[in-house]
Structure 1
Amino acid sequence: MIGEPEFDGEWESARPGERAEPERLPGPTGAPRGRWWWLLGGVVLASAVWGGALVVQDRFAASAASAGPRISYRHVEDLCARARLSELVRLTGQPFQERHTTHGSDPALDWASCGTSAGWSEGRTSYGSEVLVELHRRSEPGTEFGLGPGRRLGMPPNAFDVSEVPGLGERALYRRGIGLDRAELIVLDGGAVFTLSTEWFEDTGPDPTAPAPTGGPDETGLQTAMIEDMRSLMERLRA
């Protein structure tokens, strides 16, 4: 039978707990584990900073991409004050006395238009012109430039005889209406689209004593006048 274990002395009274030494990792330096956690925390912090920098960089790039094209022209509300059309006045001999301007703005597009008319004269060809300036703030307008006959015509492109105009903006088109008393010049440049339209109306009233209509404008002279007036307008609006 196994007996009770023998003790030479009495049970020792309870002693206060001793402070535990930090556990040391093996190695020649015996560095505390807490130092390694600090180093790991530094790595994590550096990774977070780097990741944050990448996020900011991506957001900046996205913001720059959504900013749209750089626009080289100013938006003006009173476009009639800039669109003098002096060459068309000289060609037709009829000053544009009636003028009406409209404008609008939104995050994607700023636009302004000026409608002009020389008024009606019996026995003469009367002229009217419209200028439209569109500043595209979100998308480059060059991808759709020249695809249609203009915002307000509602006619297919084949209703116009189209020719390129060199030396005016990034790209310019002159369109002469087929069977229409209308010509149109559109210019793409610096994130903006300029449109100058000219129409003419002949008096064919019932009065047999009225002078015969003078007829439409000289085609070459009309195109030259519209190009020069467009060039002058673009210079006045250049930022």
Structure 2
Amino acid sequence: MIGEPELDGEWSGGPPAEEARPEAPRGPAGRRLPWLWALGGALVASAVWAGLPAVQDRFAAAPRISYRHSEDLCKDAPLKVLDKLTGGLPHRQPGHAESPPLDWAGCDFSGDWFGAQEPGTKLDYYGRVQVDLHKKSDPGPEFGAGLGRDPYIGPEIDPVVAVPGLGERAMVHDHMYATRLQVLDGGAVFTLTVQWHGGDRTAGADKDAVAAAAIEDMRALMEALEKR
């Protein structure tokens, strides 16, 4: 019959002497101290609990995303100011994809290119607006360092100008035939590239006007996608 444990933690029954296991340490009164055997388990449990903040911090380090994913960025980014400035951007093509690390949405846009092949004709504009929502890694350290999925602007980027009051960080990249605006806000990266061709390319577009229009349209896009 299995014995009942006594109050001091000893078991009334025990194995034969030849099979006896090492006894638990005894105190000054000769009583066994079973709590020493439990101490190892308690220390392991303490280590587990001590490690929880680090685990929680690792998950808490996921980027903050304050914007919803767009399935039709051409609709969410009408680019009204740029449309007016450039004489119209009627051709739009949206695209998007979702994945565990990243959701992205884009919209390619362009004006009417008729007559742009002849010198001295009007400038025609085209470009892309895109939104990348980084759900796993912080895009901050690499922000502004690469081209991403931006096919319209090469590595020969000229001066970069900071734009205050737009997201956490914002910058305008100046190119000979293009202007690119990028905005970082938490895990969201917004990119708007405007390029032009035709006309007198030596004079080009009014870059200040293009940048100002891009900033206003970007502000409107961020407000449209902001989670309520």
Same fold (TM over 0.5): yes
Corresponding residue to 1:172 among 167, 170, 173: 170
How far did 1:57 drift?
A: 5.0
Higher gyration radius (CA)? 1
State the aligned residue count.
Answer: 196
The change in CA–CA distance for 1:49 and 1:219 in structure 2 (over 3 A counts) is same
Other-structure match for 1:206: none
What TM-score do you get using the length of structure 1 for normalisation?
Answer: 0.70
Q: Show the 5 A alignment for 1:111-130.
A: 111-122=104-115, 123-130=121-128
Other-structure match for 1:73: 67
Q: Is it true that 1:218 corresponds to 2:218 in the alignment?
A: no
The residue type equivalent to 1:191 in the other structure is G
Other-structure match for 1:182: 178
How far did 1:53 drift?
A: 5.0
Superposed CA RMSD in Å reads 3.0
CA displacement 1:9-40 (0-9 Å, x = unmatched): xxxxxxxxxxx9xxxx985xxxx95xx45xx2
The residue type equivalent to 1:195 in the other structure is T
The change in CA–CA distance for 1:228 and 1:26 in structure 2 (over 3 A counts) is closer
How far did 1:231 drift?
A: 0.7
CA displacement 1:96-121 (0-9 Å, x = unmatched): 22211111222221111111112223
The residue type equivalent to 2:170 in the other structure is A
CA displacement 1:165-214 (0-9 Å, x = unmatched): 12211111101113xx21100011121111000011215xxxxxxxx89x
CA contact under 8 A between 1:70 and 1:191: conserved in structure 2? yes
Q: Is it true that 1:98 corresponds to 2:97 in the alignment?
A: no
Aligned mates of 1:198, 1:56 — CA distance in 2: 53
CA displacement 1:118-176 (0-9 Å, x = unmatched): 222323221113111111112211111121344334732x4322211122111111011
What TM-score do you get using the length of structure 2 for normalisation?
Answer: 0.73
Other structure's SS at 1:183 match? strand
Identity score, percent? 41
How far did 1:230 drift?
A: 0.5
Aligned mates of 1:106, 1:59 — CA distance in 2: 27
Other-structure match for 1:238: 226
Other-structure match for 1:163: 161
Other-structure match for 2:216: 228
Q: Show the 5 A alignment for 1:28-107.
A: 33=31, 36=32, 40-41=34-35, 44-45=37-38, 48-49=41-42, 51-52=44-45, 54-56=47-49, 58-59=51-52, 61-66=54-59, 68-94=62-88, 96-107=89-100
Residue ranges of structure 1 left out of the alignment (5+ in a row)? 1-19, 204-211
CA contact under 8 A between 1:86 and 1:229: conserved in structure 2? yes
The change in CA–CA distance for 1:183 and 1:64 in structure 2 (over 3 A counts) is same
Aligned mates of 1:160, 1:111 — CA distance in 2: 26
